[in-house]
Amino acid sequence: MDQSPFGSLPDELLEAIIFHLPPIDTLAFAATCRRSGKIAHEPLVWRRHCISEYRYWQPRHENKEKLRLPPTQTKWRQLFNERKRTDTEAMTIFEELLETQQARYERMEKIAAMGYDVKDLMLSIVDETPDEAEDVLARRYHANAILGTIHRRTAVEKWARLQRQQMVRLEEVLGAYDLFVLSGRRGDLSDIDREFDRIAESIRQRDPDWDDLSIRRKASQIAKWLRSEKLVGNPSEEDYHALRNNFISIALFEEPHTSLPLQSVAIYCAVARRLGVNAKPSNYPHHVHAVIEAPPHVSLDGKARGPDYPPRDGRPPDETEVMHMDPWRSSSELSHSDLVTRLVNMGIPSTHHAHCLAATSNLEIALRTGRNVMNSVQEARDRLRGFTRRQPYPDIEAAWYSMLWSMFVLGESSAASALHRRRQILPYLIEHYQAHFPEDLGLIESIVPPMLEGEREHHRPPSYRPKREEMPIWTAPGQRGVACKIGMHFKHKRYRYSGMIVGWDTRCGAEPAWIEQMRVDDLPRGREQPFYNVVADDKSMRYVAEENIVEVNERPDDVLMSVAGRYFKRWDETRGRFVSNMKDEYPDD
């Protein structure tokens, strides 16, 4: 007989107790008596723990499908234990990569290869590492970097599927760009998916007769709701090309909810599809619209068509079959004649009008988005030139990286020109990866060579590895006349930008052409003085003469602090500089 004090309690009360326990306490409670043990090991209990403890899962687990099944059909406790083992393994590797520079990127790749099964763990490191931790900057930076690799791998896989002409939803194609810039923020593909589900359900719930409405009425109601919630459009024409307007997650989750017409139409189409409306982006030049098509046997106004109604093949659709919406500007239907008039005014031949007014492919929308991102980044760089501070989000370098990857993977809509485009993009992609995203080595090596199969570049051993790993480790004692230390925060004496020192040479080690171009020999101390590798406050790497370094003891701004963890453990307020995490290269600093 069970002698535990819980033995006399009814099962319902035991279940209620277990329902409020975290996993470790659930196991402890299970050991108190046979009945509590039996209840504590029920699949329903461990399904709750899986859901409450972990928000993100690798697609291979098929959790969405499992959650629709009765709890007894899934080994939830086994699944929970598997995730815990993954956490333990990932955390062990993470601690190792913080200890030494050697094989750091390989260790980061091992963790990133675990995919979304480690996203919750990495987010917890970013969000929960205390400010007073010995290596707070390194922990947060490397966890964020691993998250970035996981996100970018997912994005590139989506584009690769699209390039292979496999099914990828419009919001996934565009949301892949967001995966490059979201960092730890809300805006993952699953977050976007859930938000579209929520919006669609809100629209449906607002109108009890929704299912009885015609397609034409539904199309207008969707645009009206989105505009009333300010989820589409942009009230300020001045920042039309602002970088943030290219990303649908920012439009959905960040105030103000501004976007380009293309992103507004993508939001509209994603919501419309969930509400039974077949809406797709158009081929219209300069300003994307939504093309709404009626079902095969019903008009846009809900009138049934007889079996003798002529098929659409071979003839242009009439206004009972296709309509156009511009949710960026209005909730009203666009006039077909007005659209044609605009095309005429643009000088577009009438033979091309049908193409411009028709729905386009997701591939074309992805390429169009890439071009928009490129234009927005170039405009942002021009606007920021001469300023010492930059807008931290969305990150310009991450956005540029997304454009390079999309153009490399997708090439062009024409297969014949795709390889040519990849050859053009590859040097820029590799340079940007090495400078800003060295943790993406595994992604580069798994994606790039197969896409150049048969090309000259594929057979020549490419230099994919991060440049800093190729640098020889400095082992000489002392600093041999080097006045500034690794981790120093400084201002440039002439150009006044801020930066931090991440490396040094006892004399200028640059190429002769650079020395001549920068007129190094005209400096008072010339090329024989120490030169420093620095990260500037625009995140660029620069090479600075010692005579131009002016030490600043105050804490750096947020932009520098966000990347400092790549090189340093923490900021030391007492000493007024960073604590180095590069002892392998600079043991005396």
pLDDT tens sequence across 424-442: 999 999 999 998 999 999 9
pLDDT of residue 219: 97
Q: What mean pLDDT is predicted for residues 232-256?
A: 90
CB-based contacts of 358, cutoff 8 Å, min separation 6? 282, 283, 291
Question: What pLDDT band is residue 471 in, cutting at 50, 70 and 90?
Answer: very low
Question: What pLDDT band is residue 361 in, cutting at 50, 70 and 90?
Answer: very high
Sign of the C-alpha dihedral computed for residues 99, 104, 110 and 115 taken in this order: positive
Q: What mean pLDDT is predicted for residues 529-548?
A: 94
Which of 316, 335, 361 is a domain's end point? Answer: 361
pLDDT in tens, 311-358: 656 566 778 899 999 999 999 999 999 999 999 999 999 999 999 999
pLDDT of residue 460: 46
Q: What mean pLDDT is predicted for residues 264-273?
A: 98
Residue 461 scores a pLDDT above 50: no
Helix-helix angle 170-181:189-206, to 10 degrees: 130
Tell me how many domains the chain contains. Answer: 2
Q: What mean pLDDT is predicted for residues 560-587?
A: 91
Which of 361, 376, 409 is a domain's end point? Answer: 361
Q: Of 307 and 243, which is predicted with more confidence? A: 243
pLDDT of residue 175: 97
Question: Within 10 A of 337 (CB to CB), how many other CB atoms are there?
Answer: 9
CATH number of the domain enclosing 329: 3.10.620
Asked if residue 318 belongs to a domain, the reply is: yes
Least confident of 132-136, 153-157, 462-466, 518-522: 462-466
Asked if residue 95 belongs to a domain, the reply is: no
Which of 334, 361, 388 is a domain's end point? Answer: 361
Asked if residue 540 belongs to a domain, the reply is: yes
**pLDDT cut 70: percent of the chain above it:** 88
Question: What pLDDT band is residue 296 in, cutting at 50, 70 and 90?
Answer: confident
Interatomic CA distance for residues 449 and 352, integer angstroms: 38
Interatomic CA distance for residues 392 and 410, integer angstroms: 28
Residue 284 scores a pLDDT above 70: yes
Are residues 546 and 505 in contact, defined by beta-carbon separation less than 8 angstroms?
Answer: no
Interatomic CA distance for residues 419 and 448, integer angstroms: 12
Interatomic CA distance for residues 359 and 349, integer angstroms: 18
Q: What mean pLDDT is predicted for residues 515-521?
A: 95
**pLDDT cut 90: percent of the chain above it:** 68
Quick check: helix, strand or coil at residue 63? Answer: helix
Q: What mean pLDDT is predicted for residues 506-518?
A: 95
Q: What mean pLDDT is predicted for residues 73-80?
A: 89
Are residues 243 and 377 in contact, defined by beta-carbon separation less than 8 angstroms?
Answer: yes
pLDDT of residue 339: 94
Residue 184 scores a pLDDT above 70: no
Asked if residue 413 belongs to a domain, the reply is: no
pLDDT of residue 39: 72
Residue 565 scores a pLDDT above 50: yes
CATH number of the domain enclosing 532: 2.30.30
pLDDT in tens, 152-179: 999 999 999 999 999 999 999 999 999 9
pLDDT in tens, 61-75: 988 888 888 888 889
Interatomic CA distance for residues 229 and 199, integer angstroms: 10
pTM of the model: 0.89
- Structural domain containing residue 204: 189-361
Largest Cα–Cα distance of the chain, in whole Å? 94
Question: What pLDDT band is residue 466 in, cutting at 50, 70 and 90?
Answer: low
Are residues 75 and 43 in contact, defined by beta-carbon separation less than 8 angstroms?
Answer: yes
Give φ, ψ of 536 to 5 degrees: -85, 170
Residue 260 scores a pLDDT above 50: yes
Asked if residue 347 belongs to a domain, the reply is: yes
Chain position carrying tokens 């619209």:
289
DSSP state of 547: G
Q: Of 71 and 229, which is predicted with more confidence? A: 229
Least confident of 36-45, 131-140, 240-249: 36-45
Question: What pLDDT band is residue 474 in, cutting at 50, 70 and 90?
Answer: very low
pLDDT of residue 201: 97
Mean pLDDT of the chain: 88
Are residues 539 and 559 in contact, defined by beta-carbon separation less than 8 angstroms?
Answer: yes
Residue 409 scores a pLDDT above 70: yes
Asked if residue 258 belongs to a domain, the reply is: yes
Interatomic CA distance for residues 172 and 188, integer angstroms: 10
Asked if residue 105 belongs to a domain, the reply is: no
Asked if residue 407 belongs to a domain, the reply is: no
Sign of the C-alpha dihedral computed for residues 149, 152, 156 and 157 taken in this order: positive
> DSSP labels for 64-125?
HHHHHS-GGGS-HHHHHHHHHHHHHHHHHHHHHHHH-STTHHHHHHHHHTTGGGGHHHHHHH
pLDDT of residue 377: 95
CB-based contacts of 139, cutoff 8 Å, min separation 6? 98, 125, 129, 133, 565
